[in-house]
């Protein structure tokens, strides 16, 4: 059975699409599935010759219902595909216009703009046409967005690296790390995600990684000596996740015990009337238990040249209260400050767990069908047009179209819908769906990098690194404004 897809350019009538599908299915030896959203018609025939004959009949049927629709054969040749990065693109409406105008160019099979990743993917009828197409695309982009720079994704070669910062508990310190690491030679981009404790970098291929890692470690240790640096390639994600959860639970338990013990001694000093020396002793013991670590961090910060930190200010305020004889106020201020910090850590911890749970939708492998053999491969190795098998209990690894099999799938990870949905031949299967009961045979329609699950993960992981201009300004302004106000 030969299966090919044709594009129906200009199709904008759902009723006409249904009529076209119905009439094509009445042709001898033909099975047809219409996807109105993608404006594609999938044809199944016995041979290449039958397909050519069918294509002529399909054109006649289409033009009967929709005279202005252009019928094109869809190419899945990856050499006819090019990805351009639109650096500086910040207008969603302009992105839609760029996509529409590029799609209408002669020699272009399909064009899509991913506004989030700022990528324009063009699929041409013939790769020899790319020179002319790129010239026309440049004119379109310049007209709509003059400040946008077009870069060929193949020529912009950078190595992406992720570093885990275990024990990072200071958002301000994370911002300082990000600023200093971004300024290192060979680092084209750096972003610290405080919630997931990740440092994400784009590094030039020419840079010496060993020397760069040493510089990064030096910066992190200078700002936060207690943070443990783990280069993700040296450990599995499962271990990182497990260790992080255990570490957070352990820290929170110790903090709660410390606050309860210190708070109990503080309460005894408040409730009962003791002699001055005994009362002072109780408050000092309570202060050391509750805020001793804060004072110690302030001293270490001063030694590293970081004077105006929150730890330094809290230490000055509370120790000053002791000097003027207001012992209860000194302990109370420190106690309330640390209770607030504890609530913040718990909230951030819940956010981290939610993100970690979302990361579980990423598929680990794909069952690639090669002839009569099924091979278990990484989703990145699967190409457009390949056939994959999804067994019961497995995740759909890539976006595609079901060509064989019926099954119920769990779509909750993507849609939040708890009721399973039925998939049958002709339906779209999105990566992230979980197959419940039947075996599905799926033809891949998108590379892993362009799949639904990849885009969701990219949005979640890089949300903090894609800052708005206003946020960037406030960050710079705060570096000068905050110390002055303090």
CATH number at residue 16: 3.30.70.100
Residue 443 CA: distances (Å) to CA of 156, 276, 401, 402, 423? 30, 81, 5, 6, 14
Q: Which of 152, 175, 201 is the last residue of a domain?
A: 152
pLDDT exceeds cutoff 80 at 143 = yes
Tell me what pLDDT residue 238 has.
42
- On whether both 226 and 300 belong to a single domain, the answer is no
Euclidean distance between CA atoms 449 and 464, whole angstroms: 20
Give the pLDDT band (50/70/90) at residue 202. confident
The chain-wide mean pLDDT, for the chain, equals 81
- On whether both 278 and 383 belong to a single domain, the answer is no
Residue 253 CA: distances (Å) to CA of 79, 147, 346? 56, 52, 11
Residue 472 lies inside a defined structural domain of this protein: no
- On whether both 12 and 64 belong to a single domain, the answer is yes
Q: Residues 166-183: pLDDT tens digits?
A: 878 777 788 888 888 988
Could you tell me if 351 and 402 are in contact, meaning their C-beta atoms sit under 8 angstroms apart? no
Number of domains in the chain: 5
pLDDT exceeds cutoff 70 at 155 = no
Q: Residues 290-320: pLDDT tens digits?
A: 988 888 888 888 887 777 778 888 899 999 9
- On whether both 169 and 254 belong to a single domain, the answer is no
Euclidean distance between CA atoms 444 and 387, whole angstroms: 6
Euclidean distance between CA atoms 33 and 476, whole angstroms: 55
3 state SS of 74: coil
Q: Residues 444-477: pLDDT tens digits?
A: 988 887 788 877 777 666 655 555 556 556 666 6
Token pair belonging to 113: 């703009």
Residue 479 lies inside a defined structural domain of this protein: no
Give the pLDDT band (50/70/90) at residue 267. very high
Token pair belonging to 398: 């890539």
Q: Which of 235, 267, 302 is the last residue of a domain?
A: 235
Tokens 């894609």 -> residue: 466
Tell me what pLDDT residue 390 has.
93
Question: Residue 74: what are its φ and ψ, rounded to 5°?
Answer: -90, 130
Q: Which of 187, 213, 235 is the last residue of a domain?
A: 235
448: domain range? 366-461
């Amino acid at each position: 059975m030969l299966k090919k897809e044709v594009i129906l350019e200009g199709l904008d009538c759902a009723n006409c699409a249904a009529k076209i599908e119905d009439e094509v299915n009445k042709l001898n030896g033909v099975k047809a599935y219409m996807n109105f959203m993608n404006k594609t018609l999938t044809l199944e025939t016995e041979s290449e010759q039958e397909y050519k004959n069918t294509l002529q009949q399909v054109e006649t049927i289409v033009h009967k219902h929709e005279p202005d629709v252009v019928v094109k054969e869809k190419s899945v040749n990856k050499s006819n595909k090019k990805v351009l990065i639109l650096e500086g693109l910040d207008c969603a409406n302009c992105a839609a216009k760029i996509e529409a105008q590029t799609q209408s160019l002669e020699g272009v099979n399909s064009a899509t703009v991913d506004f989030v990743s700022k990528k324009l993917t063009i699929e041409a009828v013939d790769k020899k046409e790319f020179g002319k197409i790129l010239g026309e695309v440049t004119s379109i982009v310049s007209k709509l967005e003059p400040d946008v720079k077009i870069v060929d994704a193949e020529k912009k070669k950078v190595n992406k690296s992720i570093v885990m910062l275990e024990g990072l508990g200071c958002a301000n310190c994370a911002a300082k790390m990000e600023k200093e690491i971004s300024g290192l030679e060979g680092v084209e981009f750096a972003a610290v995600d405080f919630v997931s404790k990740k440092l994400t970098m784009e590094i030039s291929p020419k840079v010496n990684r060993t020397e760069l890692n040493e510089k990064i470690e030096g910066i992190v240790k200078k700002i936060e000596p207690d943070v443990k640096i783990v280069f993700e390639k040296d450990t599995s994600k499962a271990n990182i996740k497990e260790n992080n959860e255990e570490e957070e639970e352990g820290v929170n338990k110790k903090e709660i015990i410390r606050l309860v013990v210190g708070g109990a001694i503080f309460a005894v000093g408040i409730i009962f009337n003791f002699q001055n020396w005994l009362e002072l002793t109780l408050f000092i013991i309570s202060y050391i238990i509750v805020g001793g670590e804060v004072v110690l961090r302030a001293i270490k910060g001063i030694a590293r040249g970081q004077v105006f930190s929150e730890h330094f200010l809290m230490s000055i305020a509370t120790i000053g209260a002791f000097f003027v004889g207001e012992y209860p106020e000194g302990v109370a201020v420190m106690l309330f400050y640390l209770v607030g910090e504890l609530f913040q850590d718990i909230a951030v911890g819940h956010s981290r767990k939610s993100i970690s749970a979302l990361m579980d939708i990423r598929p680990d492998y794909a069952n690639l069908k090669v002839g009569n053999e099924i091979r278990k491969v990484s989703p990145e190795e699967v190409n457009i047009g390949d056939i994959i098998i999804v067994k019961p209990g497995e995740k759909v690894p890539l976006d595609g179209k079901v060509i064989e099999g019926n099954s119920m799938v769990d779509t909750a990870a993507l849609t939040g819908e708890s009721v399973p949905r039925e998939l049958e031949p002709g339906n779209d299967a999105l990566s992230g769906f979980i197959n419940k009961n039947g075996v599905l045979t799926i033809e891949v329609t998108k590379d892993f990098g362009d799949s639904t699950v990849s885009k969701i993960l990219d949005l979640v992981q890089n949300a903090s690194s894609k800052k708005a201009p206003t946020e960037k300004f406030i960050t710079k302004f705060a570096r000068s404004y905050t110390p002055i106000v303090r």
